[in-house]
Amino acid sequence: MAMDKTFDAKDAEPRLYAKWEEAGAFRAGANARPGAETFSIMIPPPNVTGSLHMGHAFNNTLQDILVRWHRMRGHDTLWQPGQDHAGIATQMVVERELAKEGNVTRREMGREAFLEKVWEWKSQSGGTIMSQLRRLGASLDWSRNAFTMSGAPGAPAGEEGNFHDAVIKVFVDMYEKGLIYRGKRLVNWDPHFETAISDLEVENVETPGHMWHFKYPLAGGATYTYVEKDEEGNVLFEEERDYISIATTRPETMLGDGAVAVHPSDERYAPIVGQLCEIPVGPKEHRRLIPIITDEYPDPSFGSGAVKITGAHDFNDYQVARRGGIPMYRLMDTTGTMRSDGKPYAEAAETALEVARGERSLSVDEADAINLVPDDLRGLDRFEARERVVEQITAEGLAVMTQESDPRLGKAARTPLAPEEGGEDRVEEESLVPLVEAKPIMQPFGDRSKVVIEPMLTDQWFVDTDKIVGPALDAVRNGDTRILPERDAKVYFHWLENIEPWCISRQLWWGHQIPVWYGLDLSAPDFRDQEGDGALDAVELGELLIKDHMVHAGEVHHCAADFEGVVDAFRLELADTPTPIDHARVIEVEDKAAAIHALAESLAQYNVTQDPTQLVYPVWRDPDVLDTWFSSGLWPIGTLGWPEQTPELQKYFPTSVLITGFDIIFFWVARMMMMQYAVVGEKPFDTVYVHALVRDEKGKKMSKSLGNVLDPLELIDEYGADAVRFTLTAMAAMGRDLKLSTQRIAGYRNFGTKLWNAARFAEMNEAAGSDGTVPQPTETVNRWIVGETAKVREEVDAALDAFRFDDAANALYRFVWGKVCDWYVEFSKPLLSGTDASAQAETRATMAWVIDQCLLMLHPIMPFITEELWEGLGTRDKMLIHSDWPSYGAELVDPAADAEMNWVIQLIEEIRSVRAQMHVPAGLHVNLVVTDWTKDQKAAFARNEALIKRLARVEALEEARAMPKGSATIAVGGASFGLPLEGIIDVAEEKARLEKSLDKLAKDMRGLEGRLNNPKFVESAPDDVVEETRELLTAKQEEAAALQAAHARLSELG
RNA sequence: GGGUGAUUAGCUCAGUGGUAGAGCGCUUCGUUCACAUCGAAGAUGUCAGAAGUUCGAAUCUUCUAUCACCCA
């Protein structure tokens, strides 16, 4: 067979992948030895809308390495594939598609039809990432591909899995255990998609913004002495004030302020704490008053030190408001528009005022019902409202003023002012302008919608994480689950120790609809059926509804896996209504409005017909769906068929390793830990390997807007999957970001070519395709390379065991290129082409074995080229992917052979170096003279003469008493060699070379002697270190002596 | 503001107490029968700075500077 000069990745990769897949090579348990230990990895599910990016390539390369490595070791291995349904992203993609096609909106279509579209889209485009992972060579068991929405109502054929059942079951179970509740809390609200979103879907971006400074006048014209002091207590500034100064980046939220807070230690405001101040916006006649309170949150050194508290629109304020019992007034609707519902402003403000005065209090829901947006601002966009608020305050003269030249205004400053009191300026001049600082602010944007996220107080479902966080923390603390690198365990602890309730509802359609049904709250315990006839006439019905208030304002709700499951619970709700209403048929309707309508209609009809069988009690299902992360949180068990006790679940759970990015430690890893413990009471994985980010070569995060994105598929096209994989692996130092450059990838592509050509050489010399038997050669060269192979096997296993992927890759790189190609292949040439038949045979066998070992050990990192060579080099029982990973070790190392070959290598390198520096023509063979060597060295030379001569271009060896004149001298391991170069040598140049070497030796020796002359070193350092140092010094001294002599000879010469 | 980490050759990075390393790039040489996607040789470092612990520090401690990321 004549091999090509290079590996054709484009041709081979798809062919080999198909071959593996057809052979079922990736199947769970493939190549497992009987009774083998199991090894399982769950893929972090990519979005079903997603396509492969560099992070995926990195993440999946590492997983594939582990999986292939374990599979080759005969372990019962599962790499579980799958995708998550990515609620918001997928819904957005499909809506966009709809818009392109025919301008039908989701709402126009209706929920059912829309979901049908989503499934349709999924069946067409959902497989993209799967085929891309195949390009990378990922050996996932595709027959088990999972999807977080499989088995959901409306799922088409081919999506019959039971993930949906698992998700719903977990929700119901957790609800029943009291771990899930409905409540009003502040969440990240996306005004574009009109849904709550997770922190992960929020991008905080530094944006040019403004900080406005306003005066909140004290109620009733009260005044106080405002005093500012320096650190020593000297008064810097003092004045009478009738206001407190507030800075804000979001003036429109002032409308919802519930208080002004200052730090308890802030003496400047101590005189006015407890007083009321006025929000300087809104109609003059209904100005709202709010209390000045103390809280730890305000930073006295920032701004004026006083903070306005808008509990319903800011996360920090929310905490302060909760601590201080401050009402939270919501100002916007779901689209981020200023509210226009509820009572007129005058009435709302009056209520708020009563609350501020302590005359009444509001429940959270009552506060939420109050609309404190002034009538003229109702219905405005939030940013427009901001402008109007600023205008109104400024017009009223309640903006803090400053000189036009104030640098904080962001304009060119003429005379910079010393900042005092957070920068307020009191110089009275005619050119005063409102103090509006131009400053960058961190602003939250929806990562999909790109609109500004609004913290909003809304009704949502929450997991009471406090109740389930314990086992997740303990597991990592006591080592049941290990997080690598260790630093990331700290991140994990930090987050879980400060965990907040987890908002799991989303106002979307694509997802697992929450299995909760609501009904109108009906009861009339005091009603007496005076006729006692078990029927209700018109009069009685009227009394029921009006006098006994049968229909209450609130709602009741019940949770079960399906509608049938809640019917009984709702019947019980009717128990305290009169017959026959208490026997009404429970039916499901669309929503609350439909329920009211259906109930009214039913009662009306009953009134006419007196037919109790027509009475219905309508209930409606919660329209919201669950956060995608809620379903992803069940990934380890859900993919294995839970709640059914499948054999796979028994075998592969808990899983062995999770490999994932640091950015989702909180969102996914921590939640899987909590969920698995909460649901099945077990850890989801033994080890979590957290990897860093792939960046561009300048260290910038790859992003579409920067245009520095490297597409892994393009890279695979250009360099081959193996090169991309090897690069990522070699750069995978634990916990460090990768700065990826194409140059580096090209370098590792070259490495593949190098391996290819070494194999090609072996094949040409009939030294390929071993049967796997470890050779037991007699030739030193062969004994040496067998030992080197054994050493690297141990190194690679140790590295992979410790998740040191880079160490494994680099060890193999050094071995294959630096040992096998640079030396062993060269050393083998005289033996392979020589006349000694037994040496030739043994070398062929050894080389065949060594090359095969390279293929075996490189396979997990470079699966394609190694499989191709494996097939090409010999007749094999199994494909490489299922071949046996080696297990030999140090017992194959022959120390004598090791020492001898190292000496030979050093000699060759020295000769080459001298030749190059003395400008000996590259092709010229020269003689070598030896004046001094040991018996062993002589024997070693004799054994390796052929290859030394060949590699160093030596014509012949002469033994001599003294070095001939004009020789260049070489000292190797105590032996003195020389190249007689009279006529060729440049004496001055050779002297310079020797001097340089001697200088370095002298420096080294000084250091070594310094240490050895220090009695404390000899006393306290370990014996082997002292011994090593002594030996090193002796060697240096010998070498120096030889070079010294050579230098002397040259000096005599002239 | 809080936390985590980084700072080592021109570049990208290994190196967790025992004389500073790799890859890439650079310079010179090379059409040697595996490979020019190659080979040979070479140059390049106050290991960010300061102080400490130690017989010995790139490595441990403290401080400083700069940068990055995460959380507020």
pLDDT digit string, tens, across residues A442-483:
788 888 788 888 898 888 899 998 899 999 989 988 889 988
CA of A954 vs C1' of B31, distance in Å? Answer: 21
Write down the pLDDT at residue A511. Answer: 92
Write down the pLDDT at residue A763. Answer: 93
| CATH class of the A31-174+631-691 domain in this structure | alpha beta
Write down the pLDDT at residue A419. Answer: 45
d(CA A589, CA A583): 18
A750 CB contact with strand B at below 7 Å: yes
Instruction: List % helix, strand, coil for chain A (3-state, nearest 5).
Output: 50, 20, 35
ipTM of the complex: 0.93
Q: Which nucleotide is nearest to A699 (CA to C1')?
A: B68
Write down the pLDDT at residue A53. Answer: 84
Write out pLDDT tens, residues A539-586.
Answer: 777 777 777 777 777 788 999 889 998 889 888 888 777 778 788 888
d(CA A1003, CA A482): 47
Write down the pLDDT at residue A420. Answer: 45
What are the extents of the domains in chain A? 31-174+631-691, 206-445, 516-621, 721-893, 908-1053
Does residue A971 register a pLDDT over 80?
yes
- Average pLDDT over every residue of A160-178: 92
CA of A484 vs C1' of B53, distance in Å? Answer: 30
Write down the pLDDT at residue A1004. Answer: 83
Q: Which stretches of A70-223 are assigned E, i.e. beta strand?
A: 76-80, 82-83, 146-147, 180-190, 195-197, 202-217
CA distances from A1047 to A805, A911, A962, A996 (A): 48, 17, 14, 11
Q: Which nucleotide is nearest to A755 (CA to C1')?
A: B35
CA of A998 vs C1' of B27, distance in Å? Answer: 24
Within chain A, what is the greatest distance between any pair of CA atoms?
140
Residues 174-233 of A with CB under 7 A from strand B: 199, 204
Residue of least CA–C1' distance to B18 = A1025
Instruction: Provide the angle, in degrees to the nearest 10, between the axes of the packed helices A805-813 and A721-730.
Output: 120
A698 CB contact with strand B at below 7 Å: yes
Most confident of A104-113, A603-612, A952-961: A952-961
Residue of least CA–C1' distance to B34 = A761
Write down the pLDDT at residue A760. Answer: 94
- Average pLDDT over every residue of A165-174: 94
Nearest to A513 by CA among A461, A470, A469, A467: A461
A739 CB contact with strand B at below 7 Å: yes
Rg (CA), chain A: 40
Which residues, in sequence order, are CB contacts of A925 under 8 Å at separation 6+?
Answer: A949, A953, A954, A955
d(CA A854, CA A798): 17
Higher pLDDT, A412 or A646: A646
The length of chain A is: 1054
Higher pLDDT, A418 or A720: A720
Q: Give me A502's structure tokens.
A: 């987890």
Write down the pLDDT at residue A698. Answer: 58
Write down the pLDDT at residue A682. Answer: 93
Does residue A413 register a pLDDT over 70?
no
Does residue A415 register a pLDDT over 70?
no
Q: Which nucleotide is nearest to A719 (CA to C1')?
A: B37
Residues 675-694 of A with CB under 7 A from strand B: none
- Average pLDDT over every residue of A107-114: 88
CA of A269 vs C1' of B63, distance in Å? Answer: 37
A1038 CB contact with strand B at below 7 Å: no
Q: Give me A817's structure tokens.
A: 């290129």
Strand pairing report for A38-42 and A76-80: parallel
Write down the pLDDT at residue A541. Answer: 75
Write out pLDDT tens, residues A640-685.
Answer: 998 999 999 999 989 999 998 877 777 788 899 999 999 999 999 9
Write out pLDDT tens, residues A420-437.
Answer: 444 445 444 457 877 877
Write out pLDDT tens, residues A218-265.
Answer: 888 889 998 888 767 788 888 898 988 888 888 888 988 888 888 888
Residues 805-864 of A with CB under 7 A from strand B: 806-807, 810, 813-814, 817-818, 821-822, 825-826, 829
CA of A700 vs C1' of B6, distance in Å? Answer: 15
CA of A226 vs C1' of B65, distance in Å? Answer: 39
Nearest to A631 by CA among A506, A742, A523, A759: A506
Q: Which nucleotide is nearest to A488 (CA to C1')?
A: B4
Q: Which nucleotide is nearest to A746 (CA to C1')?
A: B37
Three-class SS state of A580 = coil
Write down the pLDDT at residue A411. Answer: 56
Residue A890 — very low, low, confident or very high, per pLDDT cuts 50/70/90?
confident
What A651-655 contacts at long range (C-beta under 8 Å, 24+ apart), as own/partner pairs, is A651/A38, A651/A76, A651/A78, A652/A28, A652/A38, A652/A40, A652/A78, A652/A80, A653/A40, A653/A680, A653/A682, A653/A684, A654/A682, A654/A683, A654/A684, A654/A685, A654/A686, A655/A40, A655/A41, A655/A42, A655/A684, A655/A685, A655/A686
End-to-end C-alpha distance for chain A, whole angstroms: 60
Q: Which chain B positions come under 7 Å from a protein C-beta?
A: 3-6, 11-15, 18-19, 22-25, 28-32, 34-43, 54-56, 69-72
Instruction: Specify the CATH architecture of the domain A721-893.
Output: Orthogonal Bundle (1.10)
Q: Do A31-174+631-691 and A721-893 agree at the fold level?
A: no
Asked, as a colleague might, if the bond just before A580 is cis with ω within 30 of 0, I would say yes
A917 CB contact with strand B at below 7 Å: yes
Residues 571-630 of A with CB under 7 A from strand B: none
Three-class SS state of A747 = helix
Task: Calculate the average pLDDT of chain A.
Answer: 86
Residue A282 — very low, low, confident or very high, per pLDDT cuts 50/70/90?
confident
Does residue A491 register a pLDDT over 60?
yes
Residue A860 — very low, low, confident or very high, per pLDDT cuts 50/70/90?
very high
Write down the pLDDT at residue A418. Answer: 46
Buried-state track A467-480, b at ≥16 Cβ within 10 A, e below 16: ebbebbbebbeeee
Write out pLDDT tens, residues A981-1001.
Answer: 877 777 787 888 888 888 888
Residue A681: CB atoms within 10 A of its CB come to 8
Write down the pLDDT at residue A675. Answer: 92
Does residue A919 register a pLDDT over 60?
yes
Write down the pLDDT at residue A417. Answer: 45
CATH no. for A206-445: 3.90.740.10
Q: Which nucleotide is nearest to A697 (CA to C1')?
A: B12
Does residue A708 register a pLDDT over 70?
no
CA of A690 vs C1' of B4, distance in Å? Answer: 14
Contact, A492 vs A483, CB < 8 A?
A: yes
Q: How many CA atoms lie within 13 A of A821 on its CB side?
A: 19
Does residue A361 register a pLDDT over 50?
yes
CA of A970 vs C1' of B28, distance in Å? Answer: 22
- Which residues pair with residue A226 across a beta bridge? A239
d(CA A874, CA A769): 4
Residue A702 — very low, low, confident or very high, per pLDDT cuts 50/70/90?
low
Q: Which nucleotide is nearest to A486 (CA to C1')?
A: B4
- Average pLDDT over every residue of A920-931: 88
Q: Which nucleotide is nearest to A734 (CA to C1')?
A: B14
CA of A967 vs C1' of B16, distance in Å? Answer: 46
Q: Which nucleotide is nearest to A953 (CA to C1')?
A: B32
- Say what percent of chain A tops pLDDT 90: 33
Write out pLDDT tens, residues A496-520.
Answer: 888 888 889 898 899 999 999 998 8
Residue A367: CB atoms within 10 A of its CB come to 25
Strand pairing report for A289-294 and A276-278: antiparallel
